Amino acid sequence: MVPSETASLDVLIAKIREVAQAVDIKTNAFREEGEVVSGAVQEEISVLTALDGWITMIAQDLKQLTDSLANLPEIELKLKTGENGSVFDENLKKQF
């Protein structure tokens, strides 16, 4: 081999190693990003699952409250919808 070819080959090998090293760095960065995103997604799933549990519990409590109130014959909880939104029936206001 001619010395200039050897020098060119050495430069090419150095560039190939440089590119390979840059690819490794990018690959590791993508792996780390994937782990961070996966962790964030898992945290969001946990929070949403807890929120769903709270919503279910509140809905059950409201149903139980509604059922309990329906069993009280002396109180009628009728809601009228007027221009200003819902208001209690006048009969209910008189009882309290």
pTM exceeds 0.75: no
Domain boundaries defined on the chain? 3-95
**Tens digit of each residue's pLDDT, the chain (96 residues):** 788 888 899 999 999 999 999 999 999 999 999 999 999 999 999 999 999 999 999 999 999 988 887 776 555 545 444 444 455 555 555 555
| Vertex 65 angle, CA 61 and 67, to 5° | 115
Cα separation values, 30 from 4, 5, 8, 22, 35, Å: 39, 37, 33, 12, 9
